[in-house]
Structure 1
Amino acid sequence: MKTTIRERLLELADENYRTFSASLIPNIGNVLGVRLPELRKLAKAIAKGDWRSYLASADNDYFEETMLQGMVIGYAKTGVEERLRLVADFVPKIDNWSICDSFCVGLKFAGANKPRVWEFLQPYLRSDREFEIRFGVVMLLDYFVDERHIGDVLQRLAHIRHEGYYARMAVAWALAECYAKFPELTMSCLEAGELDDFTYNKALQKIVESNRVDAESKRIVRAMKQKAVKARSLRGG
Structure 2
Amino acid sequence: MQEMDVIRAQLFALQDKEYQIFNSRLMPTLPPETVIGVRVPLLRKLAKQLTDTPEAEVFVQDLPHFYYEENALHAFLLEPVRDYGTALAATERFLPYVDNWAVCDSFSPKVFAQHKPELLTAIRRWLSSDQVYTVRYGIGMLMRYYLDDAFRSEYLAWVAAIHSEEYYVNMMRAWYFATALAKQPAAALPWLTEKRLDVWTHNKTIQKAVESYRIPPEQKQALRALRIRSQKLCEERHV
Q: Return the TM-score normalized by structure 2.
A: 0.91
Among 96, 99, 103, which residue is 1:92 paired with? Answer: 96
Checking the alignment, whether the CA contact within 8 Å between 2:20 and 2:35 is kept in structure 1 is: yes
Checking the alignment, whether the CA contact within 8 Å between 1:125 and 1:137 is kept in structure 2 is: yes
Aligned partner of 1:191 in structure 2 is 193
Checking the alignment, whether the CA contact within 8 Å between 1:58 and 1:69 is kept in structure 2 is: no
Among 130, 143, 152, which residue is 2:154 paired with? Answer: 152
Aligned partner of 2:59 in structure 1 is 54
SS in 1 for 2:105: helix
The yes-or-no answer on 1:63 pairing with 2:68 is yes
1:163-202 matches, within 5 Å, as 163-202=165-204
The yes-or-no answer on 1:45 pairing with 2:46 is no
Aligned partner of 2:233 in structure 1 is 232
Letter in 2 for 1:68: L
1:49-128 matches, within 5 Å, as 49-50=53-54, 51-57=56-62, 60-76=65-81, 78-103=82-107, 106-128=108-130
Q: Distance in 1 between matches of 2:64 and 2:39?
A: 19
Q: Distance in 1 between matches of 2:159 and 2:29?
A: 26
Identity %: 32
Deviations 1:106-125 (A, max 9, x none): 42222111011111111111
Deviations 1:110-144 (A, max 9, x none): 21110111111111112232211101001111111
SS in 2 for 1:42: helix
Question: RMSD in angstroms over aligned alpha carbons?
Answer: 1.9
Q: Distance in 2 between matches of 1:193 and 1:129?
A: 27
- Farther off after superposition, 227-236 or 173-182: 227-236
Which structure 1 segments of 5+ residues have no match? Answer: none
Q: Distance in 1 between matches of 2:147 and 2:10?
A: 38
Checking the alignment, whether the CA contact within 8 Å between 1:133 and 1:167 is kept in structure 2 is: yes
Q: Distance in 1 between matches of 2:204 and 2:58?
A: 42
Checking the alignment, whether the CA contact within 8 Å between 2:193 and 2:226 is kept in structure 1 is: no
Deviations 1:3-60 (A, max 9, x none): 7000000110100111110111103121000000110011111113233233123661
